[in-house]
């Protein structure tokens, strides 16, 4: 009887074990659910609304490449309205598309949609440490140019570096390399509110049209750019140093009738610059300087000549966190002497400007910036060959992040 009992018990265990093996085998053969295409695509964005009319002392003081609501009557102004579609659609393919719905094609037409970014990254290895970026994207020149306007403290980029590439973007192919650990650090410097520039690699090399974003190429020459920038973490602090340079030829976009120009309005366009960043933990510094050559209006000969250019800026800040809020007082001084190739007659500039301000973040979805600007600007072209403006104004920006 005992033998029969153990035989039945062994038989039952065998059946149960076989059933479990069969069940596990069925599980193993069942394919993992396929990720839907829309699960790889994400959406975020931000909007900025400004008012520059308080305490203005000179309505003729303006900056075409900065903020078109400077000067004049100073109404409320939607500076940016961005939607960003992005996603890692496969292990080695990433895409990024960003339109702006606050573009102004003329002084009387506002709030038009225009493409800012449209590119995809192709990874060359499993960790995507080596990658190619193809399409319209930021040209890797300058830290503040790379830094999103969503993260920057001063309301506009400094003339000295931003005059290199209007809207910071162009159409081309760029190669980036950074170790996985450094890419993670680049990402954290943005996500932790430390005003990082984003991940543009430790090394970047690119070839692009050179006429800037949303414009056709107007000559047979291509611009070449290279940038090297490396962040170093020392205990709780992060320091980043970088160098960058580009070279190409630029065809003037608009000139006044009767102004002398080079053959085919074609000019050498080249710069080299240096960057130093001390991230605000809590005290921060961002300093950049560049020199180069490019087209510039010369009022003595009423012509556009190839001239040297130089300039830079330094921004100091202090990050205060309290009760779930953040306050960042800051100050920036900038200087620029040279032409702006994108503007009428490659307008000649000499800029000295001091800004004092503060950014308040009551939560991650809302920011308020108040900034007092003291500016002295000489900006001259054939239509206005003697134009020096000095003045002060209080500028306010409300920003929502979503």
Residues shown for the chain: 402
Please tell me the distance from the alpha carbon of residue 251 to that of residue 269, in angstroms, as a whole number.
10
Handedness of CA 174, 202, 82, 170 (dihedral sign): negative
Average pLDDT across the chain, whole number = 91
Q: Token digits for 242?
A: 């970088």
In this prediction, residues 118-126 reach a mean pLDDT of 97
Long-range Cβ contacts of 362-368 (<8 Å, 24+ apart): 362/325, 363/324, 363/325, 364/401, 365/400, 365/401, 365/402, 366/398, 366/399, 366/400, 366/401, 367/397, 367/398, 367/399, 367/401, 368/396, 368/397, 368/398, 368/399
pLDDT at 281 exceeding the cut of 50: yes
Please tell me the distance from the alpha carbon of residue 134 to that of residue 379, in angstroms, as a whole number.
36
pLDDT at 26 exceeding the cut of 80: no
Question: What are the structural domains, with CATH classification, of the chain?
Answer: 37-401 (2.40.160.10)
Cross-strand pairs, 336? 311, 351
Q: Token digits for 347?
A: 């307008």
Give the model confidence (pLDDT) of 223-257 as tens digits: 999 999 999 999 899 999 999 999 999 999 999 99
Of 139, 143, 135, 137, the residue nearest 190 (C-alpha): 143
**What distance lies between CA 225 and its chain's CA centroid?**
16
pLDDT at 79 exceeding the cut of 90: yes
| H or E stretch covering 188 | helix 180-191
Q: Give φ, ψ of 332 to 5 degrees.
A: -135, 135
Of 334, 308, 395, 278, the residue nearest 157 (C-alpha): 334
Give the model confidence (pLDDT) of 169-186 as tens digits: 999 999 999 999 999 999
In this prediction, residues 307-315 reach a mean pLDDT of 98
In this prediction, residues 54-73 reach a mean pLDDT of 89
88-121: b (≥16 Cβ within 10 Å) or e: eeeeeebbbbbbbebbeeeeeeeeeeeebbbbbb
Beta carbons within 10 angstroms of residue 297's beta carbon: 27
Strands (E), 142-282: 169-177, 203-208, 223-234, 237-251, 266-278
Beta carbons within 10 angstroms of residue 36's beta carbon: 8
pLDDT value of position 32: 63
pLDDT at 156 exceeding the cut of 80: yes
Give the model confidence (pLDDT) of 92-114 as tens digits: 999 999 999 999 877 678 899 99
């Amino acid at each position: 009887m005992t033998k029969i009992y153990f035989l039945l018990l062994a038989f039952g265990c065998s059946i149960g074990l076989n059933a479990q093996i069969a069940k596990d085998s069925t599980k193993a053969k069942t394919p993992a659910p396929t990720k839907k295409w829309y699960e790889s695509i994400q959406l975020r964005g931000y909007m900025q609304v400004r008012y520059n009319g308080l305490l203005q002392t000179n309505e003729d003081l303006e900056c075409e490449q900065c903020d078109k609501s400077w000067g004049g009557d100073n109404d409320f102004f939607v500076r940016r309205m961005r939607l960003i579609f992005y996603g890692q659609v496969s292990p080695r393919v990433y895409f990024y598309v960003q339109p702006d719905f606050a573009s102004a094609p003329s002084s009387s037409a506002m709030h038009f949609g225009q493409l800012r970014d449209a590119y995809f990254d192709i990874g060359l290895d499993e960790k995507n440490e080596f990658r190619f970026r193809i399409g319209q994207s930021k040209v890797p020149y300058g830290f503040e140019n790379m830094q999103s306007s969503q993260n920057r403290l001063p309301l506009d980029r400094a003339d000295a570096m931003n005059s290199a590439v209007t809207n910071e973007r162009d159409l081309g192919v760029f190669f980036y390399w950074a170790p996985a650990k450094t890419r993670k650090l680049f990402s954290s410097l943005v996500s932790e509110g430390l005003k990082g520039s984003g991940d543009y690699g430790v090394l970047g090399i690119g070839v692009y049209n050179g006429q800037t974003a949303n414009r056709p190429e107007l000559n047979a020459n291509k611009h070449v750019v290279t940038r090297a920038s490396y962040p170093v973490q020392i205990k709780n602090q992060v320091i980043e140093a970088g160098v960058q340079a580009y070279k190409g030829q630029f065809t003037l976009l608009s000139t006044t009738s009767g102004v002398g120009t080079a053959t085919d309005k074609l000019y050498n366009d080249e710069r080299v610059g240096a960057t130093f960043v001390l991230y605000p933990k809590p005290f921060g510094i961002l300093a950049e300087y560049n020199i180069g050559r490019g087209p510039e209006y010369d009022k003595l000969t009423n012509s556009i000549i190839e001239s040297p250019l130089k300039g830079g800026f330094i921004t100091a800040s202090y990050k205060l966190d309290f009760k779930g809020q953040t306050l960042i007082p800051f100050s920036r001084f900038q200087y620029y002497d040279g032409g702006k190739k994108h503007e009428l007659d490659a307008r000649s500039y000499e800029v000295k400007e001091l800004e004092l301000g503060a950014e308040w973040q009551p939560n991650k979805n809302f920011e308020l910036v108040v900034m007092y600007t003291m500016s002295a600007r000489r900006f001259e072209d054939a239509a206005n060959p003697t134009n020096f403006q000095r003045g002060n104004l209080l500028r306010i920006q409300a920003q929502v992040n979503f």
